[in-house]
Structure 1
């Protein structure tokens, strides 16, 4: 003899839980896709307060730098010259001048390179130059 419990079950058509789960799963997928799209656009397109142009990833470049120092007593002037070429028409190059023996920083100079492949200038040495001389290196390229 059947009990009354089985008659209390909600067996109406379309009320199974799989439809609700499917709708919830689709909603989660749509929301995740929208968030991923917003993140991708934020990385590719600069915002209103961003500096420079779009940043699409790492830039490829070839750069060389050379330095010469002229000393007079404890002070000196460093002449920096270099070239850069790559996949961008604009680079910001930071050059660091070091004492060869002690690796002490003598000067730092930043150059804006636009529409050309060469950069250069002079800067005062911030410390006395040792007898081993100086070395230049490109510290940063943006």
Structure 2
């Protein structure tokens, strides 16, 4: 009886097998990236990690403003108080024209060791007949 011997020929049909080292490299890079992401998330979530944790500050504020204009020049005197549970604050006060509600001045105060802040800032003139409004826009 005749026997037929079949061998696998290296023909050009079909896809070539993928080298295994590329698969292992892909898995290793993916796994190390995932572990790195977990480490960063862990550091962010723990107090005392690389990112400081910021909590809300409890405070109470009051601000008063007075404007003085001479021709096209104006100044605003700002006086305010802040009380709360923190030892320092950064308070930003915005001065608005009362009629148009457009900003005519802006001043940031660093409050440390006291509960009062104040000073003068330049204001865009002319001021409308309704006067000015002052409001605290940011406390940090």
- TM-score tier (shorter): 0.5 to 0.7
Q: How does 1:1-142 map to 2 (within 5 A)?
A: 37-41=42-46, 44-45=47-48, 47=50, 54-142=52-140
Structure 2 partner of 1:5: none
Assess, with a 3 A threshold, how the Cα gap between structure 1 residues 118 and 46 changes in structure 2: closer, same or farther: farther
Q: 1:5-25, CA deviations, whole angstroms, 9 ceiling, x for partnerless residues?
A: xxxxxxxxxxxxxxxxxxxxx
Instruction: Quote the offset at 1:122 in angstroms.
Output: 0.3
Distance 1:59 1:96 in 2: 20
TM-score with structure 1 length normalisation? 0.66
User: For the structure 1 residues 90 and 83, does the alpha-carbon distance in structure 2 shift closer, same or farther, using more than 3 Å as the test?
Assistant: same
Aligned length: 105
Larger helix percent: 1
Q: CA RMSD in A?
A: 2.2
Which of 1 and 2 has greater Rg? 2
Contact in 1 for aligned 2:69/2:125 (Cα 8 Å)? no
- Identify unmatched segments of 5+ residues in structure 2: 1-34
TM-score by length of 2: 0.67
Does 113-122 or 65-74 show the bigger shift?
65-74
State the distance in 2 between where 1:86 and 1:94 align.
16
Unaligned runs of 5+ in 1: 1-30
Runs (4+) off by over 4 Å = 31-36
The CA deviation at 1:37 is 3.4
CA distance in 2, matches of 1:46, 1:35: 10
